[in-house]
Amino acid sequence: TIDMGSQHKSGKQQEKNGSLKLYVQIYNVIQILLCSYMVYGLMPCISFPNIFGINSEFDAQGEWFVFVHYLSKFLDWFDTLWIILKKNRKQLSFLHVYHHMTIPMVWGYLLHNGVANGTTRYGAWVNSLTHVIMYSHYLWTSFGLRNPFKHLITGWQIAQFYSCLLHAFVVRALEETECWKMAWLQICYQV
């Protein structure tokens, strides 16, 4: 049955939702901190005018932060758990489930093939930055506060998507390291 509002919930249900809210808030804080760590660690590959890090060197630090990003994709599965526990079926879309189930495989494939470095850091960086924005919004609004920038978040997510697609085409055209071979993976995944 669909819950029609908190005034109709039993005391036990309100208590359950209150503790779930606390867990989600803690999760949001963890995501903000972890993603901020990745944004900071992946920043060296982002510089003007080479924002995609084309032909940037492979280094242990870059690979470490891509590995952390890969691991964070498993943490993202909690998003799906929260949706299920909140019984918010509208948010449980095919795209949501597909993305959360497949993106760890993509990053794992890049790590396994030794190309989770160099220009591939851009995708991890921009996704981590997007997650800092999203989880900050979720945390802020979980306290009942209005976010005056809410309308910009979806636009940012769409811009991230298109920037990653553009990144893949630029990599195909300009990258001289082994990463260029993997650009097709990104293009196919996004299309």
Convert the pLDDT of each residue in 31-83 to its tens digit: 999 999 999 999 887 788 898 999 988 999 999 999 999 999 999 999 999 99
Q: Which residue numbers are catalytic?
A: 99
Where is average pLDDT lowest: 118-127, 160-169, 177-186?
A: 177-186
Q: Which residue has the tokens 């867990």?
A: 23
Closest by CA position to 142, among listed 26, 13, 35, 2? 26
pTM (2 d.p.): 0.88
Q: How high does pLDDT run on average in the chain?
A: 89
In angstroms, the CA 8 to CA 16 distance is: 14
In the chain, what are the domain boundaries?
9-190
Closest by CA position to 182, among listed 101, 136, 116? 116
pLDDT band at 5 (very low <50, low <70, confident <90, very high): very low
Residue 5: which H helix or E strand, with range?
none
Closest by CA position to 34, among listed 84, 74, 91, 83? 74
Contact 168, 64 (CB under 8 A): no
